[in-house]
Structure formats: C-alpha cells, structure tokens
Amino acid sequence: MLPVLVVSAVACKTKKQTTVSTQEAKSTEKGISEKDQIAFAYNFVEGCKERMRGNIEIAEGRFKECLKIDPSSAAVKYELGNVYRFNGLYDNALKFGKECANDDPKNEWYQLLYIECLHNKRQFSQAADIYARLIKNYPNRADFYEGLAAEYMYGGNYEKAYKTYDDIEKKFGQNEAFTLNKIKILRQLKKNSEAEVEFKKLIQSNKTEARYYTYLAEFYQETNQNDKAMDTYKEILKVDPKNPMVHLALADYYKSQNDKENFYKEVKMAFENPDLDVDTKVKILSSYYELSDVNPTYKQQASELCNIALNLHPQSADVHSIYADFLLKDKKFEEARSEYAQSMAIDKSRFAVWNQLMYVESEFLHDYKSLEAHSSEAMELFPNNALPYYFNGFANIQLQRYSTAIQSLEDGIEFIYNNNPLLLEFYTNLGNAYNAVKNYPKSDQAYDDALKVNPDDAATLNNYAYFLSLRKEKLEKAEKFSRRSNELAPNNRSFIDTYGWILYQQGKYKEAEEWLGRAAKMGSKSSISEHYGDVLYKLDRKEEALKYWLDAKSAGGGSEFLDKKIADKKLND
C-alpha cells in the first residue's frame, strides 16, 4: 500500500495557548470595577487549573462566572469552546469557537479551535475557509496550507486539495509528504499518468532512496503495468542490492504473478539478511503458520525460514516462540517444549509463552513434575492470572499432593473473570482434590458449584456421580447425573461403567449387568472388568466373574480388594 501522510487539522492545546489566553483575559479589565476584575482573574485562572486537572465541569462553572462579569471576553469563549469540545458537546463548542474566532480574526489559536469545531460537525468547506483566513495572516506557515488541503480532502474537493499541495510545493519546495499526498489525490481522481510523473519526480529528488522506487513499482502493480513494475524492481536492486525490504517488495510482486518459486526465493534472501528486523521475520513466519497446513511445500519453507531466523537471531524470544508453535503443530512435543523454554529464558515477561509451555507439559508430555515447577514460577511472575494456579493445582493432583493442589486452586479461582470453561475446570479439580483427602462435603460443594456453571457438562456429571457411588451416598442423585451424562455422551465407556456401577450399588443387578457388560465389551480396563466381575458374581455366574477379575488384574490396577477376590474366588462385600 502507498503510505500517505496527511496532516490532521486538529490543533493541540499547549502551555503557549494557555499563556495567550491568560494574557488576553487581562484585556477584559477595561470598564470593569476593580472588585470584578479580581473576581474575573481569579475565576479564569482557577478555570484553567481545573481544566488542566481534568475537572471539566468545575472548569466550565468558573468560565461561566467569568462571562457573567465580561460577556465579551474572547479568551473565556475560547476556553469554554475547548471545554465543550472535550465533552463532545459540539454545538456549544461551535458557538463559542465561532464567537472567539470572529472577535479576534488574527489570533491563530481561536481560529484553530473554530476549525476543530467545524471539523467535528463535518463542516469541512467552512473549516477550509477559516484555514484560508489563517493563511492570509500567516502566509509562511506550511502547516496551515496542509490543514487547508486536508479539509478539502475530507470534504471530497480533491481538485482544490491538489492545487493547495501544488501551491505548497511552489512556495516551500518539494517534500516527500507533500508529494505523496498529491499522488494520493491524483489516484483518487484516477489521474494515473499524472501520478506516475509525481512518483518519478520523487525519485529524481533522491535517486539513492530505494523506498521511492518501491512506491513506483507498487503503483505499476496496482495499475496492471507489470512489465514496468519488474523494470523498476531491477532499478531498485541497482540502487540498494542489500536492502532486505527490496527483496520483500519483489516477493510481493512475484506473489501477485503467482510465481511461487521466485516468491520464496526473494523471501529467503530477505530472511538471510541480518538487517531485516526480527519483527518483520516473525510476522512472515506467522503468515506461514496457517498456510503450512494447506501445502507441504509451505511447511518445508516455514521450517527453513525458522532455522535461518534462529541462526541469525538466537537471542530473539519471539523467534524461539514461533518455532515452538510450528514444532507443536508437527507434534514434536519435546522439541516444542525446549524452544518455549529457551524463549522464556530470554524473556520471562511473556505469559503467552508460559501458557504454551504449561499446556504442552500438561496435555502432551504428562510431565507433572516439570509442570508443577513451571506453574509455581509462573504464579510468582503473574500473580493475578488464574491459569498458572490451575496448572499447578492439576499437576499436584497428578502428583498426589492434594493439599497443595487445593491451596493453588482456591487461590487461583479468585482471578477468573468472565471465563466459565476455566471456572468449571477449577471447580471439578477442587472436587477431585477434596474427594482424594476425603473431605466429602467440600468435594460435593465444588461439584455442585461446577454444575451451576454448566449443568450439562458430561464429564462433571459422570465424575460427581461416580464419587457418590463409591461412597454409596445419594445414589438417586448419582443415578440421575450419570443417566444425564450418558444422554450427552452415549458411547463413552467410562460413563456407561459409572451408570452400571450405580445400578449395582442400588441392587439392580440385572440392569447393572447390561450396562457393565456393554462397558466391558468396549475394551479392557481394570476397574471396568472388576465391576463387571462383581455383578456377575451377584448373578451367580461365578466362573465368569473370576475370569473378569483376572482380566482386571492383567490390565493393572483394580481395587484394594481385587487380589482377595481372586484368591478366595468370591466377593466379600
């Protein structure tokens, strides 16, 4: 895109303006009693102070008191205009802006306020007229000419805007910003031939500035003059062959021509240049991130570019981080962890990298010792972010450090804002941890809180029901929750097993056998096989029961009573 620098028509209040206003306020003393003069000066100064402090309403009151004393004070009208404009009361601002500007046509601050007010009301033509008045009084102020041109442009009067920029160049000489704005206007007017001439004039002003050639080349591309664009890019390489931005510009050109081979060739040349800033390289790699899923070639190119960037910028946290993202996408979990860790070693302030590292260790590597260590450090660095507390709580549950897990989860839940999925995870993990330490009232409360967040979360319904069934408590509630979890996820082996086990605890052995049998036939798992063996024993199918207890033993795990069941060949309730 062609960069265009349009100077805003909006002025800024400065200390100089305040001084000017204060000086002019003193002119109100004529014809006013000494007492009123003192009151006027006091209110005016206090009004200015309050405005600068941001106490706009108080300032407005002070300036209104001044107007009661001297309704003709242009300085007070100016201050009130600023106050109203600040508050978005543009009609009131325009009234006072116009009055102070007309009271003193040679005061530039009054005129600029009036212009701002007209601009806010989208009265661009009138704003241009006031700029014209300013130029008569200040014929050597280039910024006023620029402001005039900008108002013409806002109002869609491009011919006058162009003429104004032409006048600026004649009066003040050629300037890059002026020329680029002229070109923008010519493009708007679809005068491409004249725009081309202006580009060439810009190049002639500094033949060693590669950027100017790039502007012209991009213009040729946009106007479908591809041969001229290519010729211009060749000129750029003569002027500045080592400039990496030139190669990126060429890459864009080849991309527009669907020339993938030369596109990548130019991108690679840019990447191999240490002068190309890291931020640009990371942005390009980010664009490759999604494309790498579409085409294996892009994946290979992304890998090559990542390696180039790593070799040239080994101390860039961003480069290590985005390389880790690619490795994670490629399911190279250990390598991804290593790169995230290197990124953090360079810059520990980026929470997104910490989050990715903890996610990899939790979801893919199941390295809970490392997760516990990293999450503990993240809790120190980001004490108001809930996620490190969650990962720390989860890690400690896996490490069977339940008290520590409870503390982390209870602390972290305070920092969750408008994130129900995360809040649900906190409550369910608290339910698990409290259940492990046999604090069943708090475990149940945590699960109840989780179901308030999402009454139809299948996993929460199942886990809550299963814990109740193990305790043989609230079995009707457990049966209701388990039935609902199976409605939500009808083919989940663990959910089917839970429902069958609850039916078993209720003494409904035939129904339990149907459900537990379904679960057992879906695959071997120690607890499921053991449960099915238990119900078979209750149905006097003792040989089959022993077979499933042995299956449970082979699968590993099982309850603390499994070995005794097998040894005695009977169920001891």
Q: What is the CATH number of the domain that holds 230?
A: 1.25.40.10
pLDDT score at 27:
42
In this prediction, residues 106-130 reach a mean pLDDT of 95
Angle between helices 526-538 and 493-505 (to 10 degrees): 30
pLDDT band of 16, cuts 50, 70, 90: very low
Per residue in 202-216, pLDDT (tens digit) is 999 999 999 999 999
More confident residue, 205 or 523: 205
pLDDT score at 11:
27
pLDDT score at 8:
24
Range of the domain at 267: 206-271
Residue 516 forms part of a structural domain = no
Going by C-alpha positions, the residue among 263, 262, 316, 259 that lies closest to residue 287 is 263
pLDDT score at 121:
94
pLDDT score at 267:
96
pLDDT band of 31, cuts 50, 70, 90: confident
Going by C-alpha positions, the residue among 169, 188, 170 that lies closest to residue 178 is 169
Residue 258 forms part of a structural domain = yes
Look at residue 545 and give its three-state secondary structure: helix
pLDDT score at 319:
98
Task: Write down the H helix ranges in 472-508.
Answer: 475-488, 493-505
In this prediction, residues 65-81 reach a mean pLDDT of 94
Count of domains for the chain: 1
* Encoded tokens for 214: 């790039």
The residue type of 351 is: F
In this prediction, residues 511-519 reach a mean pLDDT of 96
**Which range among 134-138, 155-159, 178-182, 553-557 shows the weakest confidence by mean pLDDT?**
553-557
Per DSSP, the residues of 128-194 read HHHHHHHHHH-TT-HHHHHHHHHHHHHTT-HHHHHHHHHHHHHHH---HHHHHHHHHHHHHTT-HHH
Contact call for residues 525 and 555 (beta carbons, < 8 A): yes
pLDDT score at 131:
96
Contact call for residues 88 and 121 (beta carbons, < 8 A): no
26 pLDDT more than 90: no
224 pLDDT more than 70: yes
Residue 212 forms part of a structural domain = yes
Contact call for residues 233 and 246 (beta carbons, < 8 A): yes
24 pLDDT more than 80: no
Q: Which value, in Å, is the radius of gyration of the alpha carbons in the chain? A: 38
Per residue in 354-367, pLDDT (tens digit) is 999 999 999 999 99
* Encoded tokens for 3: 């960069």
564 pLDDT more than 70: yes
The Cα 526–Cα 548 span in angstroms is 9
3-state helix, strand, coil in the chain (%, to 5): 80, 0, 20
Per residue in 264-281, pLDDT (tens digit) is 999 999 999 999 999 999
Residue 560 forms part of a structural domain = no
| DSSP secondary structure code for residue 418 in this structure | S
pLDDT score at 54:
85
| SS3 of 431-465 | HHHHHHCCCHHHHHHHHHHHHHHCCCCHHHHHHHH
Task: Write down the H helix ranges in 313-401.
Answer: 317-329, 333-346, 351-360, 368-381, 386-398
pLDDT score at 342:
97
* Encoded tokens for 346: 């360079």
The Cα 423–Cα 418 span in angstroms is 9
Residue 243 forms part of a structural domain = yes
Burial readout 246-257 (b: 16 or more C-beta within 10 A, e: otherwise): bbbbbbbbbeee
pLDDT score at 524:
64
Residue 257 forms part of a structural domain = yes
Going by C-alpha positions, the residue among 133, 150, 140 that lies closest to residue 10 is 150
The Cα 298–Cα 320 span in angstroms is 19
pLDDT score at 555:
87
More confident residue, 4 or 335: 335
Q: What is the mean pLDDT of the chain?
A: 91
In this prediction, residues 38-46 reach a mean pLDDT of 94
Contact call for residues 233 and 220 (beta carbons, < 8 A): no
pLDDT band of 525, cuts 50, 70, 90: confident
pLDDT band of 30, cuts 50, 70, 90: low
The Cα 461–Cα 380 span in angstroms is 34
102 pLDDT more than 80: yes
Contact call for residues 63 and 83 (beta carbons, < 8 A): yes
pLDDT score at 18:
42
pLDDT score at 383:
97
**Which range among 14-28, 42-56, 199-213, 522-536 shows the weakest confidence by mean pLDDT?**
14-28
pLDDT score at 375:
98
In this prediction, residues 498-506 reach a mean pLDDT of 97
Do you know the residue count of the chain? Answer: 573
pLDDT score at 174:
87
Going by C-alpha positions, the residue among 266, 203, 555, 552 that lies closest to residue 565 is 552
Residue 262 forms part of a structural domain = yes
Look at residue 548 and give its three-state secondary structure: helix
3 pLDDT more than 70: no
The residue type of 419 is: N
The residue type of 245 is: M
Per residue in 435-453, pLDDT (tens digit) is 999 999 999 999 999 999 9
The Cα 321–Cα 172 span in angstroms is 49
pLDDT score at 557:
78
> Among residues of the chain, what percentage have pLDDT more than 70?
94
The Cα 545–Cα 565 span in angstroms is 10
Give the position of tokens 């303006």.
17
Residue 256 forms part of a structural domain = yes
